[in-house]
Structure 1
Amino acid sequence: MDLFEMNYEEERRSIQPLSERFRPLTLDDIAGQQHLLGKGKLLRSLIEQDRVTSMILQGPPSSGKTTIATVISLLTKAHFVKLNAVSLTVAELRNVFARALDEQKLYGQNTIVFIDEIHAMKSNVQEALLPVVENGTIVLMGATTESIAHDIIPPLASRCRIYRLETLSENDIKKVITKALADEERGLGKLKVKLEPEALDYVADICNGDIRNALNALENAVYSLTESDTVTLATVQEVYQFRTNAVTTSDVYNLTSAFCKSIRGSHSDAAVYWLARLLESGVDPIYIVRRMVVHASEDIGMANPHALQIALAAKDAVQFVGMPEARIPLAQAVIYLCESPKSNSAYKAIAKALDTVRSTRAYPVPDNIKDGSKSYINPIDNPGSRVQYMPEELQGLELYKPQNSGVEAKIYAKRQPSQR
């Protein structure tokens, strides 16, 4: 590297955001992810032995996916190609594959293809990866914040090892920030700035595990100082006013799961909390209320049939009133569902009925209940009359079993012992 290139490199580094400039260069520098990169862990061993296989790194934003890829590019002998899936085409991929094949034939060198935001690739573009991953032309490294099951085609996922990264803890964030303040080469050490403990606690908490966001906020806070060499709590609060709360597809599924399970478990406080998390994260209220309608029948059902009406009323309120006011009828409906007695007898009944239909032949409708049947006897006008409702082959099949809960307790009592 000549003098001109050295000057250019220093200039480029000086204008880079702190989060990029301070990106880890070794495995030991990477914050968190000890379940993957701790001493003796599989992924670390593969990297250290230069035997990396195709993988997809899945995890929340700024948890280290791109950082791990960068470190691998520095530690392995493979040719490293970095791509972004957003605008990637099959033609571009084929050019990469052709070059990778040449590298193997001419120099015996493997090629690692890192594709960021791999979930954004269309299905046909993902399919183009299948043969070259299968035959080893490339080693694929994908990075995604989204759900592997919903956004990556199954054949591609099956050819890759899935590594799930965890959200960085507050202690992880604090360690990185402290190092960045002290590092004179790539951090802010030359500025000799101090950070109040309360300010450090605040940034580590409010960033919600997003180290990139935390470092950028720290940099802004440091450069905003004019008459002091100490970053105070007030300084970072001014710079960092809002909690990082964006959610990925996986987050939405997990939050929704927690919301639904809290309703099922009759835990009103938890259900309202998860409702607030979903709303604050920008999830469509109609999506939320759809889940409420389902669980009004699935988990409450015959124990309180009015729950379905309440859930549908919440849907009407959301559409009629709109947000943010609709949060109130939503919360009311959620609490009503939580506090209602529970029964999943309707859910079990239709599940067993569908299983019966799928596992047996299509039996004919009994003659006495066919359309226009002359042998049909109206049981309302003729109490105690005998009518055959089930096919002969399914006589005695019991699909609906009432539970001793809420309103359904009356049906349960009436059927003791079973009168069918």
Structure 2
Amino acid sequence: MRLAALPVLAGLIAWFEVRRQPASFRLLSFALVFLTAADLASLLRGAARDCLLVAASLIFGLFAIEAAAYVMKPGQIIVSSDGETVRRPVIGWGPERAGRFHSQKSDPKTGALIYSADYTIDSNLLRETHSADVKSTIAFFGDSITFGVGLNDADTLPQQFADLEPEERVINLAFTGYGPQHFLREMETGLFDSVIGPQPRLFVFLTTPWHAERTSCKASWVVSAPRYVLDNGEPVFKGSCYKGAALQLQQFLWNSAAYHLVFDPDRQKANHDDIELYIRILLAAVDLAKTKYGVPTLIPFLRSSDEYLRGTGFTNDEITARLAAGGAHVVDVSLLREESAGAKISIPGDGHPTALANRLRAEMLRAYISHDLAYTLRVPTADAVSARQN
């Protein structure tokens, strides 16, 4: 029985490590490795048994540390349909297929539902947005905020904007976990050119300083994201964030609750070089949008806390000034005043924007475009036509 248990235990370990499910799979793997070592020790004699007993004790220690970290770390339970996120070339990950995907998040302590939403992915593998059927396009790039995590299709920022501008074709190119490096790489490779079409009007990329964790490859989920380094002040593509043995090591570490609890807070902290790289990647994207596609870039900006930027040598205002000087149209959409007045702009227990926040931000973007970028709209005002001609 003890001998027959070995292949069963090995198979279970492999199954958990390959599937990486459930959320506690690394804890379960440690438990199974301990049982495997203990089982092997019971089959051996002499020095070999003693060595395996020592190894089993060490593995049990790892299991105990992982168990404690798993209990202590901030938890979340997110259940999503199969195929919502898979590995994809160029950008690292994205939806596997068209269809409707259900996602819900619960509080692990109380079981209370935080959100329950359906994401419709269209035939182009993009979040569905209903808008005008015209050739010219306003394209929203971005991360989970723009994608609309926790919200149904009608409540995403691109859809709310499309509802305010029914004459425009609006598409949502955002996806969970993307960063500025995705925005730049998507344009460099022309990944979405066929979807954008031959007549783009405006690119929109919502960002915030903590995107620097993504452009610097410090965030735990960006192992397969595009990676850029600065060469004479210009961002140069260098493949994915991690590959080969480094990829395997990072994936192993980042799936450990103990690693996250002990090392992540300091490791993910942004420094001056991280923010500089973040800004440079955004400026390169703004320039490429203008030179390759002939369109301006509108950047809705979410201010980060002063604490986050402390020690980087940057402030929110300095970052927005750099972006504006580089040709971006920057709009502060932090909604700090609305939040202080009691508006619920974040999903409680999650942090992603509410439908109300997206509606308010869509109105802010529409107002800015109508005043400063009206020539990009299908029905521009007389002042906008004059401005474009000048």
Kindly indicate which of the two structures has a greater share of residues assigned to helix: 1
Kindly indicate which of the two structures has a greater share of residues assigned to strand: 2
Larger RCO of the pair (alpha carbons < 8 Å, separation 6+):
2
Give the TM-score band, short-chain normalised. under 0.3
Which is greater in Rg?
1
